[in-house]
Chain A
Amino acid sequence: MSTSAKTRIVGAPVPRKEGADKLLGRARYVDDIEREGMWYGATVRSTIPRGLIRSIGFDRRIDWSEFAVVTAADVPGENYIQLIVADQPCLADGQVNHCDEAILLLAHPDKHKLREAVDAVRVEYDPLPPIFTIEESERQDRIVWGTDNLLKSFLLEKGDVDSVWRSAAHIVEGEYRTGAQEHLYIENNGIIAEWSAETGVTVWGSLQCPYYVHKTLIKIFDLPDEKVRVVQTETGGAFGGKEDYPSTLASHAALLAMKSNHPVKMVYDRMEDLAATTKRHPSRTRHRTALDKDGKLLAMDIDLATDGGAYATLSSTVLSRATLHAPGPYSCPNVRIHAKSWATNTVPYGAFRGFGAPQAVFALERHMDEIAAALGIDPVALRLRNFLHEGDTTATEQVMREPVIMDKLLDRALRESDYHARRARFARDNPTSAVKRGIGIAAFYHGSGFTGSGERILNSLAGVDVAPGGKVRVLVSNTEFGQGTNTVLTQVAAEAIGIDYDDIAMAAADTGLVPNSGPTVASRTVMVVGRLIERAGLQLITMLREDAGLGAPYTREEFFAACERLRAAKGEVVSLVRYEAPPGIFWDDQKYRGEAYPSYAWSIHLAQVAVDTVTFSAEVEEFWAVQEVGRVLNPVLATGQIEGGIAQGIGYALYEKVLLQNGHMANNQMTNYIIPTAEDVPPIHVFFEEIPFRYGGYGAKGIGELPHDGPAPAIVNAIKDATGISFHSIPLLPEDLFAVLAAHRNVEEPAAL
């Protein structure tokens, strides 16, 4: 049982497992790898947002006999990417539904010949009318997906919202919008593929989920499981952006490898990666909230819509998480959430850290401040009055059986930031200053692991083995892409087995070698897979005690000697365990009722923002984050996760704007898609309150996504605190602030112009 029992390695700031390789420049990312006889691949993409492909022509100035050319007709199996619904073609076949959709692939031994060749492929279209917004899609006068443009919808109901409006003391309404956001991992998407008739397909690449790629490749090539092998290479950031897209890129590279009969490398440059790969779903959320005279929540009616782009991809699960995070960490007897994801003719939106929660939390936490203003209540007091506590039920009627300490987290954040003194100082200084300062709050949770019955369906398998005379290896398909999977799972294995951190190695994330322990998404690795490794380690010790005479206590040498005795008796030393759901879990997928998540991580963010009323820039000056994420298994890595998520959240609020022109990303360069730099990120103060979760690996809950959920509303609430003006959408670049602040100034000071 995972508890807060004393541990040797878990909880210690041990150095990153693969840290030295990364620091010495030795770590091998996909673009650092060459294969004998390797060719390079490139993609011919749609230049229009929607239309029928009339013809594909090849300019005669190119000697096409030097190239491998692949179209949809070359796909030996099913021409679809296998996600939740297989609606997205691997290569467009007769029709395109978004700009930059892949139509044709080229490979050549000299990568410098590819650009000219791509330009020499002439695709002629019969254009069809596109749609680009949620509003155009929900009007349904142009159907671009299925029969109604609706990728997915959910209805969640608790109590009876409509019984409340008449008698409520206050009703507050608001509409909130969030924009698309690019992951901007610094390493672009890349894959190397090989094909042979005997061994099938092998791909190496920058990816999060080897078994997702495997699932698509066996269908694309119509091959049995064992004829497809997917190996993750060192991965330079992902953030959800390498959850589904690598299935497409791996298919492309592998098709070219088959056609050319050479290994093929496809590594996108930044412009192609930005234009063609997934982003965070734009959203529009409408809140109608009833409260009693004291500011207690009576009813929350929430209408949530996301733009899913041209294909279904992961939009349904992103929408699910948005739905389940929309009511926030508050107790409310009556809740109704209508959630819909709409198709448009843009690149499909996909997974991005937070997975729908940042959109929902932005709307709710902005709305809470609007409620506070409408009722004349302090934003702190309003939240304290409504927080969930142990024993309360959520919107899905999940009973909070673990401690919920939002009050304590908020109290700590206020103390650490000296919140009240700061606000008093700003109230005093702002009237005479062109720079207005404010401080804003966001309170939120993030559900750990797959939603509802998801973990039971995944049915993950993971474990450890011991190679002859070698190290203990952790066998998981979960991947390292900066968040610390290697380090923390090594800590867990070393702790459970009772040997040193350096005695443990991570097996390569290679589908030919490791079992399917599920995807590396949903903040599930440490909590769910960590628990599997903890159990597998303890099971190994039991096996060694029962079958190989391991005593108690034992030394490292006695452990390895017992492993060799077990090997002599059984032929191998391996301990695998399968996922077991915590007891008492119930989830109704139809009614969206029950245990939405096995556990929740909880957090308070406070942002201090300065708004310059001359330049119209908003700058985050200081940031506080207090969270309860279960047991912290590695404080340095955990703090780094929180800080990195907050920096991305600051970008989401104030810097990062995806500009679409006719459905194509117009600012697909780092020059004009701006992320926070070393000079933009404020001092970030991170505090943990630890309550071990008994069903998580050594008490851990999810942590990776949580910190992206809070910064945007905290920052925009701070802008309201500073200027008195409510902003209802992000991102807020200076031009966006200018549009609203200048309009207010003109109203207030007409004489000034």
Chain B
Amino acid sequence: MSESWPIVHFTVNGKNCEVQAPPLKRLLDVLRGDLHLTGTKEGCGEGECGSCSVRMNGELVNSCLVPLLQAEGADVQTVEGLALNGKLHPLQQAFLDCGGAQCGICTPGMLMAAAQLIERNPHPSMAQIREGLAGNLCRCTGFMRIFESVLAAATEAAEPAPKQARDAR
């Protein structure tokens, strides 16, 4: 039966993928099951918690609400695609330094939301950070460490200070 499903072509973290599966299969299940990218998490399955957030064609989406068919030709980025050459993305480094991750289950989605925010707005205000992360629920941190992480990463990106200057801050 599976041979009768359409083949959907898209890229994930820059790699070409072909998936033959029911067209209404959730992108979340395709990423986690077919492509073994289990970094993206399911929290609620109804688009409320944001744990399954990925970027698709430059937009932040809840992958539990995206049917596979909609990903045809799309460029998808997941948490696995943030780090470059084994080096933590500045957001990942900031989350590590500032305590932005506790249990870690909301973290992949939170990082994608934060990456989307900073790309759109490299100098977000606190109000803009709050708004940008409002679709991603965290039950551990109370968000303060996450806000601090995003601010730190944004500052880092805005003014790539020499190492000594960073240490002095």
Contacts and interface: CB of A to CB of B under 8 A. Distances in A.
Contacts of B48: 669-671
Given A187-B103, A236-B103, A684-B144, A31 B46 contact: no
Contact of B108 (A16, A25, A484): A25
A15 B137 CA distance: 23
A31 B42 contact: yes
A644 B46 contact: no
Given A32-B38, A186-B51, A482-B103, A20 B143 contact: no
Interface stretch (A313-321, A519-527, A673-681, A716-724): A673-681
B103 A235 contact: yes
Contacts of A24: 39, 79-80, 82-83, 88, 92
A672 to B, nearest CB: 9
30 contacts: A19-B95, A23-B92, A24-B79, A24-B82, A24-B92, A25-B38, A25-B40, A31-B38, A32-B38, A184-B139, A186-B41, A186-B49, A186-B106, A186-B138, A187-B103, A187-B105, A236-B104, A237-B105, A482-B103, A482-B140, A484-B102, A637-B99, A639-B99, A640-B142, A643-B145, A646-B142, A669-B44, A670-B46, A671-B48, A675-B139
B96 A15 contact: yes
B88 to A, nearest CB: 7
A27 B104 contact: yes
A23 B95 contact: yes
Contacts of B92: 20, 23-24
Contact of B130 (A31, A639, A679): A679
Interface string A10-30: 000101101111111111110
A483 B137 CA distance: 17
B63 interface: no
Contact of B105 (A236, A670, A678, A681): A236
A25 B77 CA distance: 13
B134 A677 contact: yes
Nearest to A673: B48
A482 B137 CA distance: 15
B102 A185 contact: no
A644 B105 contact: no
Interface in A129-186: 183-186
**Which 5 pairs, one residue from A and one from B, show the smallest C-beta to C-beta distance?**
A25-B39, A236-B105, A482-B103, A22-B104, A647-B142
Interface in B57-89: 78-80, 82-83, 88
A62 to B, nearest CB: 19
Contacts of A545: none
Contacts of A27: 104
A713 interface: no
Contacts of A20: 88, 92, 96
A23 B101 contact: yes
B41 A237 contact: no
B139 A678 contact: no
A648 B130 CA distance: 17
Contact of A645 (B38, B99, B142): B142
Interface of A: 13, 15-16, 18-29, 31-32, 183-188, 234-239, 269-270, 481-484, 636-637, 639-640, 643-648, 669-671, 675, 677-679, 681, 683-684
The listed residue with most A CB atoms (<10 A of its CB), out of B42, B134, B139, is: B139
Contacts of B78: 25
A671 B46 contact: yes
B134 A678 contact: yes
B136 interface: yes
B46 A25 contact: no
B21 interface: no
B44 A187 contact: no
B98 interface: yes
B44 A670 contact: yes
B41 A636 contact: no
A237 B140 contact: yes
Contacts of A671: 46, 48
A647 B143 contact: yes
Given A23-B95, A640-B141, 10 more contacts: A15-B97, A16-B101, A25-B108, A186-B105, A188-B43, A239-B139, A482-B140, A636-B99, A639-B145, A640-B140
B53 interface: no
Best-buried of B32, B83, B95, B104 by chain A (most CB within 10 Å)? B104
Interface in B121-152: 129-131, 133-147
B23 interface: no
Contact of B139 (A23, A646, A648, A679): A648
Interface in B1-53: 32, 37-46, 48-49, 51
Contacts of A238: 103
A32 B104 CA distance: 13
A160 B142 CA distance: 43
A647 B146 CA distance: 13
B107 A23 contact: yes
B111 interface: yes
B102 A644 contact: yes
Given A25-B80, A481-B103, A643 B144 contact: yes
A671 B146 CA distance: 23
B64 to A, nearest CB: 11
Contacts of B147: 678
Nearest to B40: A25
Contacts of A636: 98-99, 145
B79 A643 contact: no
A677 B136 CA distance: 8
A675 B137 contact: yes
A677 B143 CA distance: 8
Contacts of A234: 104
Contact of A670 (B37, B131, B137): B137
B133 A185 contact: no
Given A24-B80, A675-B139, A187 B144 contact: no
Which of B38, B79, B82, B83 counts the most A-chain CB atoms under 10 A from its CB? B38
A185 B112 CA distance: 20
Given A185-B103, A237-B103, A482-B103, A270 B137 contact: no
A226 B141 CA distance: 38
Nearest to A636: B99
A29 B105 contact: yes
Nearest to B129: A678
B131 A679 contact: yes
Contact of B144 (A18, A482, A681): A681
Contact of B43 (A16, A239, A270): A270
Nearest to A647: B142
Most chain B beta-carbon contacts within 10 A, residue among A27, A645, A669 = A27
A185 B105 CA distance: 9
Nearest to B113: A678
A25 B79 contact: yes
A683 B145 CA distance: 11
Q: Of A16, A23, A25, which is in contact with the most chain B CB atoms at under 10 Å from its CB? A: A23
Contact of B142 (A186, A188, A237, A644): A644
A25 B32 CA distance: 11
Contacts of B45: 269-270
Given A29-B105, A187-B43, A678 B99 contact: no
